[in-house]
């Protein structure tokens, strides 16, 4: 029975989408490096200083991602809001189906780029095409909306973390094999072609599964519980819920900025001296990031028995802050994995923040609120992506890890709104316990 329920649920789709995305992630990283090397050799053929050539390559790659990343974040905003609106109007699969179509078309364009030897600039229309379909942010927001609809408030964090766990396991497997799969080539097939073909097959399966088999479940609200919640949450009112959402948004945006900005720099940091990774090592490095999803799920599952959601968020943020601080001083591969190990709980905060946000609104607004969180984090990338890139380029010659220390500081700042939220909820909890006692008392005879 459990296997039957899983097959008709959201897990198979999450697995296949993440497998495709993780294969693409490694492929993109190596393709960009190879094209930038070719361009650098063409323009600096007379250069003999290997250090200057390495710095030139790092600048070219980071400059490419400085444009590529904001395009990924900004283009989906208006399409994403429209798809979220459709989802809340009953078309729950729309925020999932549209991005899947975009994944297929963008990966097809990259495949043609490899087969026809198109220049790196073809990735600009590729990312625009992906963004117009909603991109990963809308897809994940739609996925979390379905999880929210099919779970109770008490179990929602657990179900969201389970989706993150499945996503992490798929990413771990995909990244572990991605480097080896990318290197497969024959006399007629270039490296990366097999990877793109496998990606297309995975997305095709996901699209067909979502359209014809994925079930949209909704937990019917309990009338008694609904009346009780209406009474106990009355003191906070609409203003209190808005304040809670604002604080959660602030903490989520700051933390996401620290995490994503660091990831953007890591993709070029791994390819420079002294690490200088090849395709297989890049795949293993990306896989280590998905191990963190698994450890975050297990940590949240164990620690949630003794601590609150807000404490879990703080633990996760402190874990990332410690690990990324050490990453600033990494010079060898084993040091890289030690720094990664310190971030074991780094992915606990975001699923819990989504869960807490969904509890501030009615079910008919889940899609819009969760997608708005995703899109707000995308908008913030317009500021931090070029800022981090310029700082990395300016500090490349004397301390390339400086940006990771900056991420550690921003993470500490992200804890502040979560602490304010926890303090406010603690006060309301004491009031709620008193009203609960009154509500549970038997009516007195007149």
**Residue 221 domain flag:** no
Domain that holds residue 123: 2-37+52-215+237-426
Residue 47 lies in a domain: no
Terminal-residue alpha carbon distance, the chain: 53
Please check whether residue 417 lies inside any domain of the structure.
Answer: yes
Residue 394 belongs to some domain of the structure: yes
Maximum mean pLDDT: which of 16-20, 278-282, 365-369: 16-20
Mean pLDDT of 360-381: 70
- pLDDT tens readout for residues 88-120: 788 889 999 999 999 999 999 999 988 888 888
How confident is the model at residue 293, as a pLDDT?
79
**How does DSSP classify residue 190?**
-
Please give the Cα distance from 384 to 25 (Å, whole number): 21
**Overall domain count for the chain:** 1
Domain annotation covers residue 436:
no
Q: Which of the two residues, 147 and 53, has the higher pLDDT score?
A: 147
**For residue 4, how far is the Cα from the chain centroid?**
28
Q: Average pLDDT of 336-343? A: 93
Position 280 in a domain: yes
pLDDT score of 209 more than 90: yes
CA distance readout (Å), 389 to 50, 169, 278, 428? 22, 30, 22, 43
Which value, in Å, is the radius of gyration of the alpha carbons in the chain?
Answer: 23
Least confident of 149-153, 285-289, 392-396, 406-410: 149-153
pTM greater than the 0.85 cutoff: no
Residue 326 has a pLDDT of 95
Residue 234 has pLDDT above 60, yes or no: no
| 232 is a domain residue | no
Q: What is the pLDDT at residue 219? A: 65
Q: Does 435 reside within a domain?
A: no
What is the residue-averaged pLDDT of the chain? 81
pLDDT digits (tens, 9 = 90+) for 373-424: 777 777 787 788 888 889 998 998 889 899 999 999 999 999 999 988 877 6
93/206 Cα distance (integer angstroms)? 12
Distance CA 172, CA 370 (A): 25
Q: For residues 178 and 280, give the distance between their C-alpha atoms in angstroms, rounded to a whole number.
A: 7
Q: Is the dihedral of CA 253, 259, 262, 264 positive or negative?
A: negative
Neighbour-count burial for 135-154, b at 16+ CB within 10 Å, e otherwise: bbbbbbbbbbbbbbbbbeee
Q: Check residues 75 and 185 and name the one with the higher pLDDT.
A: 75
Q: Is the pLDDT of residue 50 over 80?
A: no
CATH number, domain containing residue 116: 1.20.1250.20
Tokens of 45: 């053929």
- pLDDT band of residue 347 (cuts 50, 70, 90) is confident
């Amino acid at each position: 029975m459990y296997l039957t329920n899983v097959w008709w649920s959201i897990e198979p789709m999450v697995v296949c989408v993440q497998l495709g995305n993780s294969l693409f992630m490694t492929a993109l990283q190596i393709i960009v490096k190879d094209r930038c090397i070719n361009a650098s050799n063409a323009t600096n053929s007379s250069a003999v200083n290997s250090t200057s050539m390495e710095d030139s390559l790092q600048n070219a790659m980071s400059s490419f991602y400085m444009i590529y990343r904001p395009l990924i974040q900004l283009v989906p905003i208006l399409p994403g809001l429209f798809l979220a609106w459709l989802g809340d109007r009953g078309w729950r699969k729309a925020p999932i189906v549209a991005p899947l179509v975009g994944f297929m078309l963008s990966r097809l364009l990259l495949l043609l780029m490899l087969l026809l030897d198109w220049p790196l600039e073809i990735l600009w229309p590729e990312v625009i095409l992906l963004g117009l379909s909603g991109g990963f942010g809308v897809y994940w927001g739609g996925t979390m909306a379905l999880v929210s609809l099919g779970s109770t408030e008490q179990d929602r964090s657990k179900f969201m973390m389970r989706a993150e766990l499945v996503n992490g396991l798929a990413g771990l497997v995909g990244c572990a094999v991605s480097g080896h799969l990318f290197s497969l080539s024959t006399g007629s097939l270039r490296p990366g072609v097999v990877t793109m073909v496998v990606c297309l097959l995975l997305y095709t399966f996901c699209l067909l599964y979502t359209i014809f088999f994925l079930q949209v479940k909704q937990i019917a609200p309990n009338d008694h519980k609904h009346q009780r919640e209406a009474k106990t949450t009355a003191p906070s009112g609409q203003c209190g819920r808005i304040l809670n959402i604002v604080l959660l948004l602030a903490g989520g945006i700051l933390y996401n900025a620290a995490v994503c900005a660091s990831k953007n720099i890591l993709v070029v940091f791994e390819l420079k001296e002294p690490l200088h990774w090849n395709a297989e090592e890049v795949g293993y490095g990306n896989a280590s990031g998905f191990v963190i999803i698994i450890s975050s799920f297990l940590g949240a599952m164990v620690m949630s028995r003794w601590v609150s959601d807000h404490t879990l968020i703080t633990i996760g943020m402190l874990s990332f802050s410690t690990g990324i601080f050490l990453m600033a001083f990494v010079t060898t591969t084993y040091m890289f994995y030690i720094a990664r190990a310190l971030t074991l709980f780094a992915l606990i905060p975001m699923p819990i923040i989504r869960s807490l946000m969904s509890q501030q609104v009615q079910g008919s607004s889940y899609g819009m609120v969760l997608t708005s969180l995703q899109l707000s984090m995308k908008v913030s990338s317009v500021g931090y992506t070029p800022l981090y890139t310029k700082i990395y380029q300016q500090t490349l010659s004397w301390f390339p890890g400086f940006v990771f220390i900056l991420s550690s500081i921003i993470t500490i700042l992200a804890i502040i709104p979560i602490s304010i939220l926890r303090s406010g909820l603690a006060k309301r909890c004491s009031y709620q316990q008193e009203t609960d006692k009154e509500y549970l008392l038997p009516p007195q005879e007149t």
